[in-house]
Amino acid sequence: MNQPMLGATSAPLASHLAAEAVGPISIRRFVEAFELDSGAYSCVEAGHEPGLAPWSMAMAAATPAYWSPGDPPLPEGFVPPFAWDCIDLPGTEMMSTRAGLSFSRPLRPGDLLRSDYMVTKVVAKQTSIGPGNFIDFAVRLSDQSGETVATERSTVFRYTPAVNRTPRRQRPPDAVPSVRPDEDRMIGQHTFNLSLQRLIMCSSACRDFAASHLIDEAARSGGAPRAYADMHFALAMVEKLLVRWAGPGLLIHELGPLDINGFVLAGMDVTTSGVAQQPAPCHDPGRSDVTILVTLSQPDGRVPITGRARACLPANSAALS
């Protein structure tokens, strides 16, 4: 049962600077890990500079350094250096339950991102994996000139695992976005083999070295059956679906919000599907906005990710016909 909100802020509680600027090497590694087959990221071809960075790379590109010369050694079990601890609440484990990005402009090579963390809501709750707090964050990602590139909105569950916990339950089927056959249409799907090897490759490309995304035993200690994918993975799978559907000229306004209803488990395929709703006029002349309902499913019948994305593309694009 939900408890009253514990607190919220309108000013940043924490800020940090990315470890490095977006560049051809980090873009190539991200594109390679997720097999993002779009000509916009031409750095995958030797000798070509990229015009854009992947949209889903924004949070990874904003990650600060894990360690710098003069720092003490990293402790065992270290977590990615995001500022999720900017609000002092109990708990030994953390997991994302919702993630999304809204974009003011595309991410480009040379961007050096600064993250300003704000907490918008905190709710205490007893769950099947233990007691904790759901914390809503709004994170402004700005470039070296102070211009806003994107805003991340995430919910993180900080908790203490129960000693005799019950398995985490899948959200009921009615959480899957509804489809209106007379108005909506499938834009396709793709299947990605998420072996443990590939999960480690994707996590490394995102610089997310949390043990639960790399080691089965660490994931089980936090309540998951085995190692599972992070929020970067889900966002990248949605972007891959969109670029395959729309091709050149695609501009993404929003990736998400994506609701994380269960664990995206390593050791099996992940299928990403999308349904486009009716186009609407865009504020840019000659372009149309489209909202796409998305799901990530696995062969065991679970649908661990549901949500949406919003993009615009030329009004005469073949994807809209």
Answer whether residue 6 is part of any domain: no
Confidence of residue 42 (pLDDT cuts 50, 70, 90): low
Tokens of 90: 């109990």
Q: CATH number for the domain including 149?
A: 3.10.129.10
Angle at 128 between CA 94 and CA 308, to 5 degrees: 60
Residue 66 within a domain = yes
Quick one: pLDDT at residue 177?
53
Determine the structural domain holding residue 239 and report its residue range. 14-320
DSSP code, position 168: P
Give the chain's end-to-end CA distance (angstroms, integer): 47
**Confidence at 270, pLDDT banded by 50, 70, 90:** very high
Q: Is 296 exposed, middle or buried (0-12, 13-18, 19+ CB in 10 A)?
A: buried
Provide mean pLDDT across the span 253-275.
Answer: 96
Q: Kindly state whether residue 195 falls inside one of the protein's structural domains.
A: yes
Residue 5 maps to a domain: no
Least confident interval from 38-47, 87-96, 185-194: 38-47
**Residue pLDDT, tens place only, 141-197:** 999 999 999 999 999 998 888 776 554 444 444 445 555 544 568 999 999 999 999
In a domain, 307, yes or no: yes
Total structural domains within the chain:
1
Residue 247 counted as domain residue: yes
This prediction's pTM: 0.87
Residue 65 resides in a domain: yes
Amino acid occupying residue 239: E
Please check whether residue 188 lies inside any domain of the structure.
Answer: yes
Residue 232, classed as helix, strand or coil, is helix
- Sign of the alpha-carbon dihedral angle for 74, 78, 83, 86: negative
For residues 83 and 81, give the distance between their C-alpha atoms in angstroms, rounded to a whole number: 6
